[in-house]
């Protein structure tokens, strides 16, 4: 009887030992690494006071090009080689040859059949492939030119896109200089007013806002009313003493 009890206890202890050993080994192999705080982080886009999503400020291409590397852009261009050539006199492929692309009129390369959307974007040859236009198109082709036949999804990475554009600028016998990045003073003035003008436009008669006065704008017929000063003409002291036609002379020019 005592012998049987010892066997039962030994079996029980052996079972417990095996179970504990398996438990320890399992935890060592399959460590769950639980997070410090339970739950999932839900990213909510920032909104302004009106409830609209906050506008993401984009870095101008002039700033990106200041630190761009054409050598790195050559490596990025390998993604484009299936559809484009970049050599002088190179053939058209799925896309047109990109030699001398900077400041070239849109949809103007000889021998290539452009889509209707790209021809509309070209505006009869008036639209050029400036650095700014190249930046916007390469970033999101179908967003910048809806209906384009270009199947490339775009380059969202600012550095890669700037490097690629810097490389394309070297594919020319007369490379176009990079645009000057805005100065710190200009950027500060633009952020203070929201439009970069550094001045607050005075309201014109009729409740509409008149454009802010800029240097050299006095001779531009499209720049707004001829009288851009914030002060208005003093009213006549006596309506009967006002000579005929003087009220019309007080009105600003229409600018048409």
Secondary structure (DSSP) of 25-72: HHHHHS-----SS-S-PPP---B-TTSSBPPPPPPPHHHHHTT--HHH
pLDDT at 195 over 50: no
| Pick from 22-26, 179-183, 233-237: least confident | 233-237
Structure tokens at 3: 């012998």
pLDDT at 201 over 70: no
**For residues 63 and 158, what is the distance between their CA atoms, to the nearest angstrom?**
10
**Rounded-to-10 torsion of CA 182, 186, 189, 194:** -40
C-beta atoms surrounding 127 within 10 Å: 16
Task: Please indicate whether residue 191 or residue 169 has the higher confidence score (pLDDT).
Answer: 169
Structure tokens at 1: 């009887």
**For residues 196 and 210, what is the distance between their CA atoms, to the nearest angstrom?**
16
pLDDT at 97 over 90: yes
Enter the DSSP assignment of 213. P
**For residues 196 and 227, what is the distance between their CA atoms, to the nearest angstrom?**
22
Domains in the chain, CATH or no CATH each: 61-170 (1.10.760.10)
pLDDT at 198 over 80: no
**For residues 75 and 89, what is the distance between their CA atoms, to the nearest angstrom?**
21
pLDDT in tens, 213-256: 444 333 444 444 334 343 444 444 444 444 444 444 344 444 44
Q: How confident is the model at residue 237, as a pLDDT? A: 44
**For residues 60 and 181, what is the distance between their CA atoms, to the nearest angstrom?**
8
pLDDT in tens, 155-172: 999 999 999 999 999 999
Task: Please indicate whether residue 61 or residue 255 has the higher confidence score (pLDDT).
Answer: 61
Per this entry, what is the length of the chain? 256
pLDDT at 42 over 80: no
Q: How confident is the model at residue 31, as a pLDDT? A: 64
């Amino acid at each position: 009887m005592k012998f049987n009890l010892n066997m039962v206890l030994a079996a029980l202890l052996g079972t417990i030992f095996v179970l504990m050993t398996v438990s320890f080994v399992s935890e060592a192999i399959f460590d769950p690494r639980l997070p410090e705080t339970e739950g999932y982080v839900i990213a909510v886009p920032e909104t302004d006071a009106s409830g609209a999503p906050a506008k993401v400020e984009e870095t101008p291409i002039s700033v990106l090009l200041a630190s761009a590397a054409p050598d790195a852009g050559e490596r990025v261009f390998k993604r484009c080689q299936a559809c484009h050539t970049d050599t002088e006199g190179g053939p058209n492929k799925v896309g047109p040859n990109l030699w001398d692309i900077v400041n070239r009129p849109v949809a103007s390369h000889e021998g290539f059949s452009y889509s209707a959307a790209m021809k509309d974007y070209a505006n009869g040859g008036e639209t050029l492939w400036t650095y700014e236009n190249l930046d916007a198109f390469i970033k999101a082709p179908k967003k910048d030119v809806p209906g384009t036949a270009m199947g490339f999804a775009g380059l969202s990475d600012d550095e890669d896109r700037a490097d690629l554009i810097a490389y394309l600028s070297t594919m020319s016998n007369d490379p176009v200089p990079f645009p000057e990045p805005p100065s710190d003073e200009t950027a500060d003035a633009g952020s203070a007013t929201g439009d970069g003008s550094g001045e607050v436009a005075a309201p014109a008669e009729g409740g509409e806002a008149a454009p802010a006065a800029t240097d050299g704008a006095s001779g531009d017929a499209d720049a707004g009313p001829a009288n851009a000063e914030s002060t208005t003409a003093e009213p006549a002291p006596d309506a009967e003493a006002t000579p005929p036609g003087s009220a019309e002379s007080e009105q600003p020019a229409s600018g048409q």
